[in-house]
Amino acid sequence: MKSANTASPAFALVKTMFKNRFFIPFHSWAGVLVDIARNNHNLAAFLPLFEENCRVAFDEKLNFMMPDVSACNAALEACCFHLESVSDAERVVGIMSNLSVKPDEFSFGFLAYLYALKGLQDKIDELKVLMSGFGYSKNNKCFYSNLISGYVKSGNLAFVESTILSSLNDRDGREVWKFDRDTFCLVVKEYLQKGNIKGLANLVIEAQKLESSNIKVDESIGFGIVNACVSMGLSDKAHSILDEMNALGGSVGLGVYVPILKAYCKEN
C-alpha cells in the first residue's frame, strides 16, 4: 500500500480484509492508510474504515485492533476540517470514550475549530471544562489557534478579537507562548478582506493593555499582526495600522514598530 500510494486499491484492500474477517493489527495499516488519504486529499475516506475497525475491536474484544490517539485524531480531523460535521465528530469522540482512548491537545483543538466554525459557544465552554478534567491547561496554544481559525473561516471578527484577548487573560505567567505566523496571517487576511484596518488597530491596542510589561517584543500581538502584514508583502497595511492606532489615541508598543523598521532596512 505504502509504495503504491494510491487511494482506491488501498481502501479496497482494507474493506476486503474486514469483509472476510481477516484482521490485521491496526498499527500495521492504519498509519499508512492515513498518509495515503492525506496525500490524495481525501482524509474523509479514512473515517468509515476507522469506524468499522473500532466496531470490530469493541465487539470482538481484539486489543490488537484498538486505535491509538493519533488514528482517532485523524478521524476527528476528517470530521472537523473536511466534512465539517458535528454529529460525525461527536460520534468519533464517543468511540474514543468506549475504547478508553484519552484525547490529547490536538483532539480538543480539532473540536474547537469545528465548534467555532459552527458558532457553538456552549460546546466550546464544555470543551474547556473537559480539557481541565483531562489535565490540560486552558492556556493552550493549540486550542486557541484552532478556535481562531474556526472563527476566521466563519467570518466572525468579533469572536476572533475576543478569543485573542481571552488567550491573554488565561495566561498564568508559568507558560508563555505566542501564536505562529500562519495564525496571524489568517487573522490579518480576514480583517483586510473586510476593509477593517481600524479593527486590527483596536485589537493591538486592547492586547497591549493585557500583555505583561515584561513581554518579549516578538511575543506581542502587535508584533504578530504587523509582522504578518510585512511577511505577506503588505507593508502599506502595516503603516495603515500604525496610523490608525495613533488616530485612536492608543499607545504604540515596540512590537508594532520592529517589523516595520526591519522591512524598511531590508528595502534600503
What distance in Å separates the CA atoms of residue 253 and residue 138, rounded to the nearest whole number? 27
CB 147 within 8 A of CB 112: yes
Task: Return mean pLDDT, the chain.
Answer: 93
Which is nearest to 199 in space by CA: 257, 153, 245, 254? 245
Q: What percent of the chain has pLDDT over 70?
A: 96
Q: Which of 22, 21, 103, 25 is nearest to 66 (CA)?
A: 25
Helix, coil or strand: residue 189: helix
Question: What average pLDDT does this structure show over 152-181?
Answer: 88
* 168-212 per-position pLDDT tens digit: 988 765 567 899 999 999 999 999 999 999 999 999 999 999 998
The arithmetic mean of pLDDT across residues 100-118, rounded, is 98
Write the pLDDT tens digit of every residue in 232-243. 999 999 999 999
pLDDT for residue 1 = 58
Looking at residue 175, its pLDDT comes to 63
**Could you read off the pLDDT of 74-107 as tens digits, one per residue?**
999 999 999 999 999 999 999 999 999 999 999 9
The contacts of residue 5 (CB under 8 Å, 6+ apart) are 35, 36, 39
Judged against a pLDDT cut of 80, whether residue 246 lies above it is answered with yes
Judge residue 232's burial from the number of C-beta atoms within 10 Å of its C-beta, 0-12 exposed, 13-18 middle, 19 or more buried: middle
Tell me the average pLDDT across 141-157. Answer: 97
Would you say residue 8 has pLDDT above 90?
Answer: no
Q: What does the pLDDT read at residue 171?
A: 72
pLDDT of 54 strictly over 90:
yes
pLDDT above 70 for 113: yes
How far, in Å, are 115, 130, 168, 219 from residue 212 at the CA level? 30, 28, 9, 10
- Name the residue with higher pLDDT: 268 or 66: 66
Residue 173 is predicted with a pLDDT of 57
